[in-house]
Structure 1
Amino acid sequence: MTPFAGAIACLILVTLCYSAVCAVSPFTACRKCAGFGATQPGRFRRHPQPCRRCYGSGRRLRLGRRLHNHSLRAAEGARRLRDDARH
């Protein structure tokens, strides 16, 4: 196997593994609040505030799952346009 083919095979394997992880566990801990749902109080704040990125849930969709959901919505929109054009 040439080095190029080996690199392609490795890339395909990594992509398939990441796709499996996104299918099994679509959510991950928020990086900003570390999964706690609230940011640490700042210098002038006394109480922790809900995290803006995860809206206080502490969970975020993985990038691969967001891309998958976006592609599903785009395909559904195209399907609707095609069906509307037929009628």
Structure 2
Amino acid sequence: MRGTLTATGIVLVVALVYASSCIIRPFRDCWLCDGKGHHRSKRKSKLSRPCRWCNHTGKRLRIGRRLWNRARRVHRDAAAGAKIAR
């Protein structure tokens, strides 16, 4: 029983730390271009092209922040729908 409570506490602390990091720093470096906005082609190493994953910015929105934004959007749309139905 004690091990289960400890494991649950550790998981909750890790989730809380990740959620706070998503709030403080919602963007992270792109995994493909390493935050540069362009990357080298695998076939021809001297050519570089714009990164399509980050839209040439070098930053991508974190997964946790995407989930948070989607949940807020669903909540906002549901509240707006409830006001219209009244």
Using structure 2 for the length normalisation, give the TM-score. Answer: 0.92
- Runs of at least 5 residues in structure 1 that lack an aligned partner in the other structure: none
Name 1:35's counterpart in structure 2: 35
User: Shift of residue 46 of structure 1?
Assistant: 5.8
- Equivalent residue for 1:63? 63
- The Cα of 1:39 is off from its aligned counterpart by 1.5
Q: What percentage of aligned pairs have identical amino acids? A: 35
Cα distance in 2 for partners of 1:28, 1:61 equals 6
Which residue of 2 is the match for residue 51 of structure 1? 51
Match of 2:12 in 1: 12
Provide, for residues 3-28 of structure 1, a one-character-per-residue CA deviation record: whole Å limited to 9, x for no partner: 01111100000010001101110000
User: C-alpha separation between the residues in 1 aligned to 2:45 and 2:30?
Assistant: 21
Distance 2:76 2:46 in 1: 47
TM-score of the pair, normalised by structure 1: 0.91
Per-residue deviation, 1:41: 3.1
Residue by residue over 1:36-78, the C-alpha shift from the partner in whole angstroms, topping out at 9 and shown as x without a partner, is 1001034358642110100000000111100000000000010
2:85 alignment counterpart: 85
Contact 2:22 2:65 survives alignment (8 Å): yes
Question: How many positions carry a matched residue from both structures?
Answer: 86
2-structure distance, mates of 1:42, 1:26:
29
Return the letter of the residue paired with 2:52. R
